[in-house]
Amino acid sequence: MRGSQTEQDISVTNVPGAGAWQGRITFRKRRLRFGDVNVVDRAMLRRAVGGAVVGNTMEWYDVGVFGYLITTMGPVFLPEADKTVQTLFLLGTFAATFVARPFGGVFFGWLGDRIGRQRVLAATLIMMSAATFALGLLPGYAQIGVGAAVLLVVVKLLQGFSTGGEYAGATTFVSEYAADRRRGYFASFLDMGSYLGFAAGAALVSVLQLVLGQAAMGEFGWRIPFLVAGPLGAIAIYFRLRIEESPTFQAALDTQERAVNERAAADATARRGPFAVVRAYWRPILVSMVVVAAANTVGYALTSYMPTYLTESKGYDEVHGTLLTIPVLLVMSLCIPLAGRLSDKIGRRPVLWIGALSTVILAIPAFLLVGLGTVPATLAGLALVAFPVTFYVPILASTLPAQFPTSCRYFSMGIAYNFSVAIFGGTTPVIVDGLIQGTGNDMMPAYYLMGTSIVGALAVFFLREPAGRPLPGSMPSVDTPAEARAVVEHQEEDPRIDLEQMPLSRVPVAVAHDGAAVQLPLDDPYALAAAEGEGIDLEATALEARSCGEQPVATGLRPVA
């Protein structure tokens, strides 16, 4: 059992009159009890995962729809501009969502750590669905002139702001719900939903283009995919409102309300403000940003850039450029939970390294195959790009939340993920297209992906390996009562149990000069004096013990392992 004592815990030394136990009194985290371990309610877990996934699906549905309608919507909002200006305006509007995301991540992340994950996630989904639906109702240039383009930008900014709180909150929520040993598997469903949503949006646009034709799409057809988001969003909101607050966050609130441990239960850093959190956790935030940048560069290259690459560089028409990516996305999505399960078995970092290394190895063959220009070769090339994405992007959902404590997890995730995606992920299509235009070399996207993954692989070394471990600031979470009893019974020898990372109360321990240690009764006068000097409320600790059926004022001293 690691973390059982720290130097900072020493409060009184050479206590006079302590009999055979003269030495010092220190405070150590108490042992885990059976009631401390969270046994997952499987029905609630399924509901929580489903409620979280629908939001991510909605988010990426809009990304797919808007991305594939850019050339169609250009004449609707700027009919008097030439095609290049129309495309640049729509691409800029698309980029505006990424500009707004960090602000949403900061706002909703901070709010989610204060009032709870579930309520904030409900708000982000309502805003996101309403913005997508409103986009389908916007008047065009023919109705209100340039004001239509302004409204489009405003709606996309609102959408990006709400999206900034979506992924960070959903990953935090599911990670706090899932059992420690299966967190990678359940969290991976979030990204499976994301890519399925993207594929659904792309597929719907493609079907409408084939059925209605380009003329009808420009007149009214482009509105249909956005309006569909209305009823879909209502269904998603219904499911999200039915889920309860994550047990980890609720336990943290309960612990704070009982004031069991003033030091651990109420994180003083988080309460001082956002800047204090950034100062305290800037290293894991920075490392997380680098890993997110590397993984999402490959992910956005597959989803947002490949259709453009196939159309502009390889001669495919817009419909076929879209259709070729859809089967690859579907197969990849179905494989994502397998990668999540693998990360539970061998660890998050090894799976992330598989994603980074396979990007470096497969990027050049992938773009060479696409360059052949045949449909089978193009599908094979797209599959080679999708392979590392399967082992890369989905693992972030269970890795990143575990880098931060419960008290500031949502906020820290909102910063690390959204700033990185805004700076690197959303700019991937622009950067790689610019590299091709500047060099005339169609292989530049491959070199760019290789470079970012090399940096990402180095950053993975600095990530905390969270597989099978409780989240920082949280109690262990298991699937069955039998597992909970095993955790309590073997907590001393289990390397994954670190009591210093858990919101446990501290108990007084007398340490003799020869190193022998015993736990003092909570009503011991020397313990009470030491606790007063340290600002520790032993009365609250005693009350907690009584509520668990323990006797906190036993007269005999007990050996401490």
3-state secondary structure labels for all residues of 258-293? HCCCCCCCCCHHHHHCHHHHHHHHHHHHHHHHHHHH
pLDDT given for residue 134 in this prediction: 92
Query: Taking CA 474 as the corner, what is the angle to CA 473 and CA 479, rounded to the nearest 5 degrees?
Result: 160
Question: Same domain for 454 and 520?
Answer: no
- Average model confidence (pLDDT) for the chain? 82
185 versus 250: the higher-pLDDT residue is: 185
Question: Same domain for 85 and 120?
Answer: yes
pLDDT-based confidence at 457, cuts 50/70/90?
very high
Task: Give a yes or no: residue 475 inside a domain.
Answer: no
Question: Same domain for 455 and 531?
Answer: no
- For the entire predicted model, the pTM comes to 0.82
Query: Residue 93's domain spans which residues?
Result: 38-248+257-460
Residues ≥6 apart with Cβ < 8 Å to 5: 26, 28, 509
Question: Same domain for 295 and 386?
Answer: yes
Contacts 24+ apart (CB under 8 A), 86-92: 89/149, 91/429, 91/430
pLDDT-based confidence at 395, cuts 50/70/90?
very high
CATH of the domain at 23: 3.30.70
Residue (of 98, 99, 104, 162) closest to 130 by Cα position: 162
Task: Give a yes or no: residue 211 inside a domain.
Answer: yes
pLDDT-based confidence at 477, cuts 50/70/90?
very high
pLDDT-based confidence at 545, cuts 50/70/90?
low
pLDDT-based confidence at 541, cuts 50/70/90?
low
553 versus 552: the higher-pLDDT residue is: 552
Task: Give a yes or no: residue 486 inside a domain.
Answer: no
324 versus 9: the higher-pLDDT residue is: 324
pLDDT given for residue 370 in this prediction: 87
336 versus 552: the higher-pLDDT residue is: 336
Task: Give a yes or no: residue 383 inside a domain.
Answer: yes
Task: Give a yes or no: residue 419 inside a domain.
Answer: yes
Q: What distance in Å separates the CA atoms of residue 526 and residue 253, rounded to the nearest whole number?
A: 31
Task: Give a yes or no: residue 485 inside a domain.
Answer: no
Residues 293-322, mean pLDDT to the nearest whole number: 78
CATH of the domain at 352: 1.20.1250.20
pLDDT-based confidence at 561, cuts 50/70/90?
very low
Place of tokens 């602000």: 103
pLDDT given for residue 261 in this prediction: 41
Question: Same domain for 422 and 540?
Answer: no
Question: Is the pLDDT confidence value at 45 over 70?
Answer: yes
Indicate the SS3 state at residue 17: coil
The dihedral through the CA atoms of 85, 86, 91, 96 has a sign that is: positive
Question: Same domain for 221 and 291?
Answer: yes
pLDDT of 66-122, one tens digit each?
Answer: 877 887 888 888 888 887 787 778 877 887 888 888 999 899 988 888 888 888 888
Query: Which pair of tokens denotes residue 556?
Result: 């005999």
Q: What distance in Å separates the CA atoms of residue 357 and residue 359, rounded to the nearest whole number?
A: 5
Residues ≥6 apart with Cβ < 8 Å to 542: 522, 523, 552, 553
**CB-CB contact of 470 with 476 (8 Å):** yes
pLDDT given for residue 12 in this prediction: 42
Task: Give a yes or no: residue 185 inside a domain.
Answer: yes
Q: What distance in Å separates the CA atoms of residue 400 and residue 318, rounded to the nearest whole number?
A: 36
pLDDT given for residue 369 in this prediction: 92
Question: Same domain for 96 and 227?
Answer: yes
pLDDT given for residue 23 in this prediction: 63
510 versus 37: the higher-pLDDT residue is: 37
Question: Same domain for 405 and 552?
Answer: no
Place of tokens 């920082």: 472
Lowest mean pLDDT among 23-32, 75-84, 175-184: 23-32
Task: Give a yes or no: residue 481 inside a domain.
Answer: no
pLDDT of 212-242, one tens digit each?
Answer: 888 888 888 999 999 998 888 888 888 888 8
pLDDT of 334-387, one tens digit each?
Answer: 999 999 999 999 999 999 999 999 999 999 999 999 888 788 998 999 999 999
